[in-house]
């Protein structure tokens, strides 16, 4: 019976191809636009590492009140990190910055190429749950001993070593020879919590280099920097490191609330010490910031993203009203057909059921079309904005949601015509 009703519904839809084509197009485009904007908003507003909300914190240092904007609260200076990292508290620490380096193989079999690099402490991998395909990160001893070790992502591993287990292999970064200690698997963190200031939705860096090698190899920052005035020096790089310039995102992780409280006391003491030597000003806002407030402070999702979703929803509403008019015209034109059904003994409930099956068939067609439109929209977004690669996609829940929304729009748009048709009086149309 259901198969017969579906075939009947398809036959009914084919009777008015122009109207149905317009209906499908309007719903597919409007729902597709809504789901494109909503999917981007959904992934951008995600809270990564939510289970660490009570143990993982960003370090916020309020160094100088004279900064023109709040960038100085989002990162720390090199000398502040060096001062803060040397403590005996039971914590895990992650300081890192974006750099760009030249990578080559030792035998010269490939052309060297530039790649984004993350210069980081060893704590970054465990704190942010980096997935390893082979090997792992370096340890604190290797970092302390200034060993030239490197972690590469799976794409660099495929390019240089054919995708095999390359742990123990050597490669050149600049003029220095490094040993591979780990190969990252595909690492999707949306947004990239460890560095929200530099492309929070970008791809994972190609190589990871120990932070302790900054001075020895003069690794420069390729990311956002709030630069302070540098002292006169014969070594500009050294002068930059010793300046008040801020450019390093700094995170700490604790095993317990008591450890976090101990670090807060340590941080308060450090601020007091710096105020005593004239660095930090009174009314200092240095503190630990939890994950969600830190995301909000960086405005990872701003009002523009929400406004786009709202505009897409309004566009869908306008389209739904127009669809209602077209479906009403189609339904009212079938009153004579419905009168014949009633005269032959069909009940009002049967008429409603017939039209509901038609609505569901139409909704599925519109839903599939909307999914295609959404995917095309997301591809256009990725083509225009490369750093949206990790947020411009549909997961299974959003894909199914696109079809469900399309069916609901069709159902609401067809609700009035269905109810009107169920009240048709056969005598009036069969004279």
144-196 per-position pLDDT tens digit: 999 999 999 999 999 999 999 999 999 999 999 999 999 999 988 888 899 98
Query: What per-residue confidence (pLDDT) applies to 170?
Result: 94
Q: Which helix (H) or strand (E) holds 214?
A: helix 214-217
Q: Which residues contact 337 (CB under 8 A, 6 or more apart)?
A: none
> What is the DSSP pairing of strand 76-77 with strand 170-173?
unpaired
Q: Which residues contact 395 (CB under 8 A, 6 or more apart)?
A: none
Query: What per-residue confidence (pLDDT) applies to 5?
Result: 57
Q: What are phi and psi of 128, to 5 degrees?
A: -110, 20
Q: Residue 110 gets which letter from DSSP?
A: S
Residue ranges in the chain whose pLDDT is less than 50: none
Q: Which helix (H) or strand (E) holds 406?
A: helix 396-422
> What is the DSSP pairing of strand 113-120 with strand 176-184?
unpaired
Q: Which residues contact 344 (CB under 8 A, 6 or more apart)?
A: none
Q: Is 213 helix (H, G, I), strand (E, B) or coil?
A: helix
Crossing angle between the packed helical segments 78-85 and 257-276, to the nearest 10 degrees: 130
- The token pair at 172 is 């050149």
Q: What are the tens digits of pLDDT across the range 306-332?
A: 888 888 889 888 888 888 878 777 666
Q: What are phi and psi of 210, to 5 degrees?
A: -60, 135
**E strands within 45-106?**
56-60, 76-77, 91-104
Q: Which residues contact 338 (CB under 8 A, 6 or more apart)?
A: 351, 421, 424, 429
CA distance 169 to 178: 8
Rounded to two decimals, what is the model's pTM? Answer: 0.78
- Nearest alpha carbon to residue 137 among 70, 195, 182: 182
């Amino acid at each position: 019976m259901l198969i017969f009703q579906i075939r009947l519904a398809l036959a009914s839809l084919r009777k008015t191809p122009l109207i149905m084509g317009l209906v499908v197009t309007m719903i597919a485009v409007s729902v597709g636009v809504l789901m494109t904007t909503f999917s981007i908003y959904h992934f951008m507003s995600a809270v990564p590492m939510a289970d660490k909300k009570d143990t993982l914190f960003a370090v916020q240092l309020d160094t100088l009140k004279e900064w023109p904007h709040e960038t100085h609260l989002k990162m720390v200076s090199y000398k502040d990190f060096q001062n803060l990292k040397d403590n005996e508290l039971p914590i895990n620490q992650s300081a890192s910055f974006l750099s760009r380096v030249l990578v080559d193989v030792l035998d010269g079999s490939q052309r060297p190429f530039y790649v984004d690099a993350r210069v980081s402490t060893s704590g970054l991998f465990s704190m942010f749950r980096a997935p390893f395909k082979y090997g792992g990160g370096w340890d604190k001893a290797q970092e302390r001993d200034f060993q030239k070790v490197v972690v590469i992502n799976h794409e660099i591993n495929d390019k240089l070593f054919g995708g095999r287990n390359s742990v123990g292999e050597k490669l050149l970064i600049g003029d220095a020879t490094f040993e591979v200690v780990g190969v990252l698997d595909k690492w999707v963190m949306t947004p990239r919590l460890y560095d929200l200031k530099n492309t929070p939705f970008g791809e994972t860096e190609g190589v990871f280099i120990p932070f302790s090698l900054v001075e020895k190899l003069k690794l420069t920052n390729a990311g956002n920097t709030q630069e302070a005035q540098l002292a006169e020096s014969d070594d500009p790089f050294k002068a930059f490191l010793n300046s008040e310039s801020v450019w390093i995102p700094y995170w700490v992780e604790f095993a317990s609330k008591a450890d976090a409280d101990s670090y807060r006391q340590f941080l308060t003491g450090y601020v007091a010490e710096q105020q005593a030597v004239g660095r930090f000003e009174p009314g200092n806002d240095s503190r630990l910031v939890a994950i969600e407030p830190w995301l909000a402070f960086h405005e990872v999702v701003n009002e523009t993203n929400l406004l786009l979703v709202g505009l897409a929803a309004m566009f869908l509403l306008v389209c739904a009203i127009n669809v209602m008019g077209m479906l009403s015209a189609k339904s009212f034109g079938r009153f004579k057909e419905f009168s014949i059904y009633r005269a032959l003994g069909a009940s009002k409930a049967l008429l409603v059921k017939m039209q509901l099956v038609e609505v569901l068939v139409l909704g599925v067609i519109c839903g599939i079309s909307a999914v295609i439109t959404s995917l095309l929209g997301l591809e256009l977004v990725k083509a225009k904005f490369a750093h949206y690669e990790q947020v411009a996609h549909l997961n299974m829940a959003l894909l199914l949601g696109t079809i469900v929304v399309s069916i609901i729009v069709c159902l609401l748009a067809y609700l009035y015509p269905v109810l009107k048709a169920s009240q048709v009086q056969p005598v009036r149309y069969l004279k």
